[in-house]
Amino acid sequence: MLQEKIEQIKKDFSIEISNINNDKQLEELRVKYFSKNGLVASLFILLKDANKDEKPQLGKVLNTLRSELQNQFNIVREQVSKSESSKNINVDLSLPGLERNVGSKHILTQTLDEIKSIFKGMGFSVFEGPELESDYNNFEALNFPPDHPARDMQDTFFISDEFVLRTHTSPVQIRLMKEQKPPVRAIMPGRVYRNEAVSSRSYCMFHQVEGLYVDTDVTFAELKGTLASFAKQFYGNNLKFRFRPSFFPFTEPSAEMDITCFICNGAGCKICKHTGWLEILGCGMVDPNVFDNVNYDNEKYTGYAFGMGIERIAMLKYGIKDIRVFFENDYRFLKQF
Ligand code: DAH
């Protein structure tokens, strides 16, 4: 009698479990077979009335049945829970993929890389100095008289009486010459600071590249040749340029280099203030007083120096009209380069 019931329950269970599709049906099946008043428990109740001789044997059969059914149940429960959770992910295969933004070097880094590679090709090495600089290196050693307007509080961020945020990369010339004996030929890139009102044309922080070449018999002609070669490699071979007399305390004679305005091709426009020319850098022959300050023999050595603003150089090359965009990290600007 019990044996028959066991067989019947086994059959029913295997049919019912094969039709289970969701949590609700699974729970119903669990209650029907495995709860306190379920079918499996009812078989154990019948066992009490069984013949004494058969009891041990039937008990074993019942235990095996219970664990078999429980195993099947567990397997199906696992399958159901997997399919239930996958139902919750609403996958729409027709949706476009997520856009991945690939980063690139900042346009100022790219510009500096290009400047470095051009000057390296002409025999210059790269030398760097700190942004926090002594007043002495930033001004005095560069032959700025004590009352020079560049020292004014309006231009310089003073940290103390003795230290400033460097206002240009020229003090790195002093550091280089104090460290190395001639011949020296290096460019010196870096960040500089000026206490100026922020506008489309000026920012409180920007970048410069300084250049210095000192040896016996360095001439102004070499300075012109080197800078002309740089400008042509950077802006293109068709470029026209000119050197205009100027003044800097640390060079004598001093000059500024202009290139023809790329917007109007020299005809005159708003960008070049109707002159047809754009200034790209300052330069000159190192003043003998500067050599004195670094203990270079100014009878024996001559040298040239130059300095340019990296933002300005890049603005002219790419037609960027506002210096602030370099520092705003607006992806729409950055991704163009
Ligand atoms: N230091 C100058 C400035 O910030 C730029 C400059 C001019 C650097 C002439 C030089 C130079 O080395 O020879 O405006």
Encode pLDDT of 227-257 as tens digits: 999 999 999 988 899 999 999 999 999 999 9
Say how far apart CA 122 and CA 70 lie, in whole Å.
83
Confidence of residue 109 (pLDDT cuts 50, 70, 90): very high
- Examine the domain organization and report whether 224 and 311 are in the same domain: yes
Atom index in ligand 1 nearest the CA of residue 250 equals: 13
Indicate which residue's Cα is closest to atom 12 of ligand 1.
306
- Whether residue 99 lies inside any domain: the answer is no
Alpha carbon 21 to its chain centroid, in Å, reads: 51
CA-nearest residue for atom 4, ligand 1, is: 168
- Residues 71, 162, single domain; the answer is no
Distance 301 CA to ligand 1 centre (A): 20
**Any atom of ligand 1 within 6 Å of the Cβ of 129:** no
Ligand 1 centre distance from Cα of residue 60 (Å)? 100
For the stretch 183-213, pLDDT in tens is 999 999 999 999 989 998 889 999 999 999 9
Residue 101 in any domain: the answer is no
202 within 8 A of 194, measured Cβ to Cβ: yes
Mean pLDDT across 117-132: 98
The answer as to whether 102 is a domain residue is no
Whether residue 210 is found in the same domain as residue 276: yes
Pocket test of ligand 1: the residue of 143, 203, 283, 302 to mutate, having most ligand atoms within 8 Å of its CB, is 283
- The whole-angstrom separation of Cα 114 and Cα 8 is 86
Please tell me the predicted confidence (pLDDT) of residue 98: 86
Cα 272 to ligand 1 centroid, rounded to whole Å: 21
Domain span including residue 35: 2-85
Could you tell me what percent of the chain has a pLDDT over 90? 65
- One domain for residues 188 and 42: no
For ligand 1, atom 6, the nearest C-alpha belongs to: 307
Tell me the per-residue pLDDT of 250-260, one tens digit each, with 9 for 90 and over.
Answer: 999 999 999 98
Quick one: 124 and 228 in the same domain? Answer: yes
| Same-domain status, 275 and 133 | yes
307 lines ligand 1 (CB under 6 A): yes
CB 211 within 8 A of CB 188: yes
Higher pLDDT, 140 or 147: 140
Counting from 1 in the atom list of ligand 1, the atom nearest the Cα of 212 is: 12
Q: What is the DSSP string of 269-285?
A: -TTTTTSSEEEEEEEEE
Q: Is residue 95 part of a domain?
A: no
The CB of 156 under 6 Å from ligand 1? The reply is no
* Same domain? 64 vs 116: no
Residues 15, 134, single domain; the answer is no
For residue 65, the Cα-to-chain-centroid distance in whole angstroms is 66
- The pair of three-digit structure tokens given for residue 200, joined into one six-digit string: 């489309």
Quick check: CB of 171 below 6 Å from ligand 1? no
| Dist CA 63 CA 69 (whole Å) | 10
Rounded CA separation 226/21 (Å)? 81
CATH number of the domain encompassing residue 224: 3.30.930.10
Residues 14 and 67 in one domain: yes
- Establish if 92 belongs to a structural domain: no
With a 6 A CB cut-off, is 210 part of the ligand 1 pocket? yes
Nearest alpha carbon, ligand 1 atom 2: 307
141 lines ligand 1 (CB under 6 A): no
Q: Are residues 140 and 225 in the same domain?
A: yes
**Residue 302, ligand 1, Cβ within 6 A:** no
The domain tally of the chain equals 2
Per-residue tokens: 281: 């850098």
Atom nearest to 251 CA in ligand 1:
13
How much is the mean pLDDT over the chain? 92
In a domain, 98, yes or no: no
Whether 7 maps to a domain, the answer reads yes
> What gap in Å lies between CA 37 and CA 47, rounded to an integer?
15
Angle at 125 between CA 122 and CA 129, to 5 degrees: 140
Same domain for 71 and 126: no
Is 157 inside any structural domain? yes
At residue 297, φ and ψ (nearest 5 deg) are -75, 110
Q: Are residues 79 and 116 in the same domain?
A: no
Domain boundary among 85, 117, 140: 85
Least confident segment among 37-41, 81-85, 228-232, 282-286: 81-85
